[in-house]
Structure 1
Amino acid sequence: MAAPAFSTVPPPAPADAGGAQPRYTSALSSLTVLFFMMGFITCLNDILIPYLKAIFSLSYAQANLINLCFFGAYFFMGIPAGLLVQRIGYKGGMLAGFVVAALGSFLFYPAADSRSYPFFLAALFVLATGVVLLQVAGNPYVAVLGPAQSAPARLTLTQAFNSLGTTVAPLLGAALILSNLPDLETPAAAQAIDVRAVQMPYLAIGAVLLVISGLLAVLKLPRIQHAADPADHAGRRAWHFRHLVLGAVAIFAYVGGEVAIGSHIVSYLHLPEVMSMSPKGAGDQVAFYWGGAMVGRFAGAYLLGKMNPGRLLAINAVGAVLLVIVSVLSTGPLAMWSLLAVGLMNSIMFATIFTLAVAGLGRHTEQASGLLNVAIVGGAVVPMLFGLVADASSLRWAFVLPVLCYAYIFWYGLRGHVPAQTT
């Protein structure tokens, strides 16, 4: 069966009865701040993992409880967040997300004072709940805020500012947090680590989030109403659409593969057969991984206007598979740079999968966004499996899991995104 021409969510209903085309430039510009902060907060986990691993002398699997708690929030809170956004609107959802995320950031202060790993995990869960609300409200809002045919390019462009946050976060995190780690990993050295190094950065993050929420509260954003779809049957739900369900699996695979790699770059570059880097030096290199995603997203915003989105997604997935294989089969700079280059391949994946998955869902878009955000739990599950494989065999063998994730994304880009209702 040939793939149909690409389409995404239907155009929003006109904002005025006169039929004038609304202008969304100012609204999209303001949303870049939201995407920047989501990327910044999420990517700091890549710095927290080696930091807390050293403080509490954790195994790889235990350290990945950070990803389990952070991305597990998407599993538990994704659908409730979608229902809340349906009730209070996109702007209300974003406001709630900023406030909850700020609360989670502030909880890092008592967590550090108590030197309690479970407390850190609880703070991360609260912080992640706020990010879930931001994701559930922000992504579909960008997708429907303008012409349907340009939705993938539009979301990819705003995601580029998300990647700007993920590029800046490792640099600041390495300077403010990882610089406090000792070169020797011993129980005595772990006890001497100053856990207060995370307090000021997260207090600052919480304050910034509250300031942004205040500015957003007074900003006038366009209200979106989905046009009625005469073919839409009352009994249908978002999960009745095959391409959405398969897209949720693709989001699970993408986030899982991306986070599993990003969370272990510091440990990978520390290996003697790779680069023997210090935690601080390896942390600085993480910025290249996320910086590649940023560059790729700016370029992808152009390419998605010229190429079939599914085909471009498949090409990037193949590139990711090849780069991971090259890295694990090599040593030294080649092993390092080939793994870091996977970030470039990741660049267009989330936005492309998301818009392909919500294609044609109309009034089900918010519900679909909640379902897709539940699938971000892949960022909890895959890294945890990655850690278990690394503990049982070696860190290099664990990279087979991201390879499998990208293989599925390749199939989704070619065939899985074709709309067809499930039975």
Structure 2
Amino acid sequence: MTEASSRQSYAFAFVMTTSLFFMWGFVHNLDPILIPHLRRSFNLSVLQSALVDSAVFIAYFVMALPAGMLIRRVGYKWAMIFGLSLFAAGALLFLPAADTHRYGVFLAALFIIACGLAVLETAANPYISMLGRPDRAVQRLNLAQSFNGLAATLAPIVGARLILVDGVPDAQLQAMPENLRRATLAAEAASVKGPYLAIALVIMLIAVIFYFLKMPAVGAGEGSGAGQAAPSTATGRALLRAMRKPSIRRAAIAQFFYVGAQVCVFSFFILYASQAAGLSQVAAADYLGWGCGLAFVSGRFAGTWLMKYFASARLLFSYALACAVLSAVAMFAGGMVGVAAVIGIAFFMSIMFPTIFALGIHGAGADTEMGSSLIIMSIVGGAVLPLVFGYISDATHNLQYGYAAPLLCFFVIAWFARTASLEQDARAAVSNDGALQHV
């Protein structure tokens, strides 16, 4: 292969893999639309509606290790195709979920989608990280994740107009006979069928493209996918070896709290803006998309640029402290000041996932796949922290106080960033000493 064709192959593989970041970002950011939609349809409390996030992020805990083992056996390409297949199957399950009008079936559909996303994230994050120069891994991953942020902008805006239909007013709904009320709510719930059918068709098309795509080999012994044998090292030993790496352990802890914080901030934004600022659900969804979404994606691009001049761990530390301060404002200010604070959180937490991930697997070598699995497993924080948020909100009868949960999370991320920054400084000092010795 010539150098030009090699660059073209890497570029196309980067573009296609980055498209996955957009797609899982899009479906994830429909969840804040689903929560108020299903909450009305099934008359759920804040805590019960948080089960939407729990169903999604428990799947990450369940699937992350099997995904790592799958990658070791068949390679990144075929793991991505398998993840896309699960993604499409779960999206199609929204059709019978709407027809039967059962909350449990909706949760099952979300769980299957998330199983596919867990496989995709376990494969795509390290693949992008290794698809090029090692010293550009954090920037490359932040760039790919920027398209995840773009999806975070578009999904609430599109989803609100397709899913949050103008239903019967609550007072009129409560006055209806029980059978008519249930039929009305079931008809409203059916608004999810079209969007999720479209998502399933797009995902199946992407899977077909990946089937014919020749992906460059990355990492130690990684082939294009088909028929790759599992490494001779037992999976259990590989897992234990990855767990012994302090950087991977700390990254898994930080990612647990980061994802929990992100899910709390985004999933409850519409309820927060409705209750604290008096916005309608559609108007709140617009603020989620144009406000939080644009802040998130612009923060990703800005963070990628700033990393040319500042160490990634130091930038992460500063951003985590900014998020903690803004979480406190959201707790106590309310109104549009609180909404603006939450939008600010979206900007500053934008770089956290890819930066934590890349810092965690830096220098992992043969342990990259299992290290990636452990970090993806920790995404289960997105199942736990929203329940804490919901419990605090229900117990205090004030949704704003739920922001105590992400406030705690951002302090944990600041600890991780400070530790990683000290390690980066130590590596830089050793590198400088070595350079001086060769002068």
Does TM, scored on the shorter chain, surpass 0.5? Answer: yes
Amino acid at match of 1:79: L
Superposition deviation, residue 21 in structure 1: 8.6
* Mean CA deviation greater in 300-309 or 218-227: 218-227
Q: What one-letter code is carried by the residue in structure 2 that aligns with 1:219?
A: L
- Check whether the contact 2:153–2:294 (CA below 8 A) recurs between aligned residues: yes
Contact in 2 for aligned 1:183/1:278 (Cα 8 Å): no
Alignment of 1:4-153 (within 5 A): 24-153=10-139
The alpha carbon displacement at 1:330 in A equals 1.5
Q: Shift of the alpha carbon at 1:227?
A: 7.6
Q: Does 2:205 correspond to 1:205?
A: no
Structure 1 residue aligned with 2:219, among 201, 225, 236?
Answer: 225
What runs of 5+ residues in structure 2 fail to find an aligned partner? 223-232, 425-439
Task: Kindly report which structure 2 residues correspond to 1:259-408, keeping only aligned pairs within 5 A, or say none.
Answer: 259-271=263-275, 274-287=276-289, 288-393=291-396, 394-408=398-412
CA shift digits 1:98-138 (9 cap, x unpaired): 11100000000001100000011011100110111110110
**Structure 1 segments of 4+ aligned residues over 4 angstroms from their partners:** 20-23, 185-190, 416-420
Distance 2:221 2:203 in 1: 33
CA distance in 2, matches of 1:389, 1:332: 19
Cα distance, 1:187 vs structure 2: 4.3
Secondary structure of 1:341 counterpart: helix
- Alpha-carbon distance in structure 2 between the residues aligned to 1:335 and 1:389: 18
Q: Kindly provide the amino acid, as one letter, of the partner of residue 338 in structure 2.
A: A
Q: Distance in 2 between matches of 1:296 and 1:163?
A: 9
Deviations 1:293-350 (A, max 9, x none): 1111111111122211110000000111111112222232211111112110111101
- Greater shift after overlay, 20-29 or 130-139? 20-29
* Structure 2 counterpart of 1:7: none
Please give the alpha-carbon distance, in whole angstroms, between the structure 2 residues aligned to 1:29 and 1:134.
Answer: 15
The verdict on how the C-alpha distance between 1:215 and 1:21 changes in structure 2, with shifts beyond 3 A counting, is: closer
- Partners of 1:270 and 1:242 in 2: how far apart? 42
What letter matches 2:414 in structure 1? F
Structure 1 unaligned residues grouped into runs of 5+:
1-14
Higher share of residues assigned helix = 2
Cα 1:165–1:349 shift into 2, 3 Å: same
Q: Say if 1:367 and 1:187 are closer, same or farther in 2 by CA, change over 3 A.
A: farther
- Look up the equivalent residue of 2:214 and give its one-letter code: K
| Alignment RMSD | 2.3
Amino acid at match of 2:257: A
Could you tell me how far 1:218 is from its partner in structure 2? 1.1
CA distance in 1, matches of 2:143, 2:324: 24
User: CA, structure 1 residues 365+205, in 2 after alignment: closer, same or farther (shift >3 Å)?
Assistant: same
CA distance in 1, matches of 2:221, 2:208: 31
Equivalents in 1 of 2:126, 2:371: separation in Å?
9
Contact 1:112 1:199 in 2 (8 A): yes
Amino acid at match of 1:262: F
Question: TM-score, length-normalised on structure 2?
Answer: 0.86
Does the 8 A contact of 1:57 with 1:187 survive in 2? no
Residue 26 of structure 1 deviates from its aligned partner by 2.2
Q: Which moved more, 1:300-309 or 1:95-104?
A: 300-309
Residues 150 and 183 from structure 1, CA distance in 2 versus in 1: closer, same or farther, beyond 3 angstroms? farther
- Give the match for residue 214 of structure 1: 208
TM-score (norm 1): 0.89
Q: Structure 1 188/84 Cα, relative in aligned 2: closer, same or farther at 3 Å?
A: farther
How many residues align? The count is 398
Deviations 1:227-270 (A, max 9, x none): 89xxx9x8861101011111101001110001011111111111
Distance 2:74 2:349 in 1: 32
* Structure showing greater Rg: 2
1:392 maps to amino acid: A
Q: Is the 8 A contact 1:74 1:132 kept in 2?
A: yes
- The range that moved more, 248-257 or 177-186, is 177-186
Q: Is the 8 A contact 1:227 1:362 kept in 2?
A: no
CA distance in 2: counterparts of 1:391 and 1:256, whole angstroms: 18
Provide closer, same or farther for how the CA distance between residues 158 and 21 of structure 1 changes in structure 2, counting only shifts above 3 A.
Answer: closer
The 1:28–1:255 alpha-carbon spacing in structure 2 relative to 1, beyond 3 Å, is same
Contact 1:51 1:181 in 2 (8 A): no
Query: Contact 1:256/1:402 (CA < 8 Å) preserved in 2?
Result: yes
2:256 is the alignment partner of 1:252? yes
Q: Which amino acid aligns with 2:415?
A: W
Q: Distance in 1 between matches of 2:96 and 2:105?
A: 8
CA contact (8 A) 1:318 1:407 kept: yes
Shift of 1:188: 5.6
CA distance in 2, matches of 1:58, 1:47: 14
Distance 2:420 2:169 in 1: 47
Aligned CA distance change for structure 1 residues 21 and 238 (closer, same or farther; 3 Å): farther
